[in-house]
Amino acid sequence: MAKLYFYYASMNAGKSTNLLQADFNYRERGMNTMLFTAGIDDRFAHGTITSRIGLSATATPFDANTDLLACALDRHRTQALACVLVDEAQFLSAAQVDGLARLADAHGIPVLAYGLRTDFRGQLFEGSARLLALSDSLVEIKSVCTCGRKASMNLRVDAAGHAIAEGQQTEIGGNDRYVALCRRHFNEALGR
């Protein structure tokens, strides 16, 4: 039976690198995969999953209106899919996650979703919340705070490096906008 997996972590933990390694493993064995990434992520080339260590692969960009289930089944009809991999899964809607669960349950195609669990305020993203509820397997990818403890929170910072506690949930950025911290240092940075 195919499963829905959710690999989650704070920023800069290697989620995209892990996804690209999984994709490589499938393709090296002659199996077809389909990759999705959030169309909103404009840090690198549109429709590309890129890791900080320089690995990249072309992916189908998704937004709130993309029917990932239909896209995957269309591809599966012409090229049998062994796996579907989703980067930036926190940006999925609950309905899109439900579709990915159906892809695994009704069509026997494993889905590996990679993303953040929480935003810069410590609140769950819609896609992450639904993945936490539905996934057959939850895997935390570890990252490290500056103090050496596990980093589980994503602190948003301004250009001067000061913590930001208010604003839109989604703001694309990398090391220039976010710092992965343990809960204690996250709360201290926000004056809590």
pLDDT tens for each residue of 13-55: 989 999 999 999 999 999 999 999 998 766 666 777 878 788 8
pLDDT reported for residue 171: 64
Hey, is 134 helix, strand or coil? helix
Residue with more model confidence, 68 or 176? 68
**Percentage of the chain exceeding pLDDT 90:** 69
Q: Is residue 83 part of a domain?
A: yes
Q: Is residue 14 part of a domain?
A: yes
Catalytic, out of 88, 126, 171, 188:
88
Check: pTM over 0.85? Answer yes or no: yes
**Percentage of the chain exceeding pLDDT 70:** 93
CA atoms within 13 Å, Cβ hemisphere of 112: 20
Whether 96 contacts 68, CB under 8 Å = yes
Q: Is residue 131 part of a domain?
A: yes
Q: Is residue 151 part of a domain?
A: no
Kindly give the pairing relationship between strand 178-181 and strand 153-157: antiparallel
Q: Is residue 181 part of a domain?
A: no
Instruction: Name the residue range of residue 44's domain.
Output: 4-142
Whether 188 sits among the annotated catalytic residues: the reply is no
What is the domain count for the chain? 1
The annotation places the binding site at 9-16, 87-90, 145, 147, 178, 182, 185
